[in-house]
A and B are shown apart, each in its own frame.
Chain A
């Protein structure tokens, strides 16, 4: 536990004592800020039209503004997370610090989990920082808090899945760029896997949908918690953390 805490804290400090954290945080807030602004502006125009056209009375904030916004946010996070995870293990390998780290009496599990939770903590900071937009909205409109909380819960849990895959990519290579690209491509493929479901035929189609990251996130912005989605993300994380631990172990045998 002590070793895990040491790894976790060092990794967390490494984020905040380097420009990486701030570059990612600012980029993320700038992007979400832009999407938030254009979403709100569009919604304002739509609201005016509703006053003249009673046929559009079902317009509501959650469905027409927040849910699409959160879908956008989730894609942005998918782009950003590989940049967050790329250095976690590959940098240790490139700089040789891995040799020293592995000479200490601690398990690969502690190394991997320490780094995973440090990245997830930083991810949490990013997501929490973006609540700023919602706070602004709350001064002008009535925000549906409960479904919004569910949506953010979904983002955070899905972030864990993103990070576990990115961490594995980082375990596979000494090169940070390769780790980032591999993590990003893998995430995008798993995310968009469900899109081809309709053309894949009745046997494979549903399987693709069930395996895809995107289709398991869809319910959260609607304010729905499905245990199947939760189970999916937890299994996803467990699987890639397991692979990361195994990859690290395998390095001991090759090196």
Chain B
């Protein structure tokens, strides 16, 4: 549905987006990730036709975003990052204006406005002035105007930023509901959100593609799993015992609780899943030590993300 080929955008000497290529299939929810200034917003602006690429090509449906901009814009519902809205309008009035600008006929405009108001939970606020709304509600108005006219493609720049946890869950499940029916590109800083909502992620850094794939990508690539362990017993014997357990790659004793010298905390790197954890527990208990805690720890998404983006940067610097 969306295809980006070798897309490049330069602002003077700065290269904001550098030969970026990716594809989003129909019905897919794509998470667009990257640190600040990675070029996410720039890419989205090129897709919505706000400015053209310096070179390269992007198509939505079968239309080119530059040459057939009016056709692609008709397919896209766009929610920009800071949700710029007309402050002096009421929500309902504003949405009717958007329906007009999107050229929905009058009969359909009315039903569409009430539909999107319901979808984002703004029915009770419909007559409120936009300038009096909190950030979260402004965000919902932004989403409502993107949904108006039921466009097949949604481009959402940081849709849940500034929302409270309850609202985040609501909006997230709303977006998740589009899976299969709409093509969604959503950028976010919140990695668990992307992992929970998206069917695919594209990670960019400094305008370049770092990696793309399923959201599990964010979990893998950080080496094996980790186990956290606290055991009552002497440190040396325990270390020896644990390193002999099949599947355990390395053992590190982290600290000894100062109040009793008999308790040790270990961090284990293992090559397997729950089987290894079971083996570890069995070994400790059979040797007669007191097992106090055994917790599997997976690397946080943030760690993986940092690893992916910084290693890319390092590689780039080496090449340069």
Contact = CB atoms under 8 A, between A and B. Distances in A.
B169 interface: no
Question: Main SS of the interface on chain B?
Answer: loop
B78 A103 contact: yes
A100 B104 CA distance: 17
B311 interface: no
Given A6-B97, A104-B73, A96 B82 contact: yes
Given A99-B80, A102-B49, A14 B88 contact: yes
A2 B48 contact: no
Interface stretch (A25-33, A116-124, A247-255): A247-255
A3 interface: yes
A105 B102 contact: yes
B102 A99 contact: no
A162 to B, nearest CB: 25
B84 A3 contact: no
B101 A106 contact: yes
B84 A100 contact: yes
Interface in A66-105: 95-105
Contact of A252 (B52, B80, B100): B52
Nearest to B73: A105
B77 to A, nearest CB: 9
A209 to B, nearest CB: 43
A97 B82 CA distance: 10
Nearest to B98: A104
A158 interface: no
Interface residues of B, number: 30
Contacts, number: 78
Given A17-B88, A96-B80, A97-B86, A103 B50 contact: yes
B51 A254 contact: yes
B93 to A, nearest CB: 8
B105 A2 contact: yes
Of A7, A102, A105, A254, the most chain B CB neighbours within 10 A belong to A105
A101 B105 CA distance: 18
B101 A6 contact: yes
A10 interface: yes
B70 interface: yes
B145 interface: yes
Contact of B84 (A14, A17, A95): A95
Of A14, A99, A106, A252, the most chain B CB neighbours within 10 A belong to A99
Contacts of B100: 2-3, 5-7, 9
Interface string B54-86: 000000000000000011011010101010111
Interface in A6-64: 6-7, 9-10, 14, 17-18
Interface in B172-186: none
A246 to B, nearest CB: 16
B210 to A, nearest CB: 26
A18 B131 CA distance: 14
Contacts of B101: 3, 6-7, 101, 104, 106
Contact of B97 (A10, A96, A99): A10
B97 A97 contact: no
A103 B50 CA distance: 6
Contacts of B85: 97, 100
A3 B98 CA distance: 9
A99 B84 contact: yes
Interface in A145-199: none
A105 B103 contact: yes
B12 to A, nearest CB: 11
Contacts of B104: 2
Contacts of A9: 97, 100
Contacts of A252: 49-52
A100 B80 contact: yes
Given A2-B105, A3-B103, A6-B101, A100 B52 contact: no
A107 interface: yes
A102 B74 contact: no
Given A2-B105, A6-B101, A103 B88 contact: no
Contacts of B189: none
B45 interface: yes
A90 to B, nearest CB: 14
A18 B129 CA distance: 13
A148 to B, nearest CB: 37
A97 B87 CA distance: 10
A253 B102 contact: no
Interface in B31-56: 45, 48-52
15 contacts: A2-B105, A6-B97, A6-B99, A9-B100, A95-B86, A97-B86, A99-B80, A99-B84, A100-B84, A104-B101, A106-B101, A106-B103, A107-B70, A252-B50, A253-B52
Given A10-B89, A10-B97, 8 more contacts: A3-B101, A6-B99, A99-B80, A102-B49, A103-B49, A104-B101, A105-B103, A255-B50
Interface of A: 2-3, 5-7, 9-10, 14, 17-18, 95-107, 252-255
Interface of B: 45, 48-52, 70-71, 73-74, 76, 78, 80, 82, 84-89, 97-105, 145
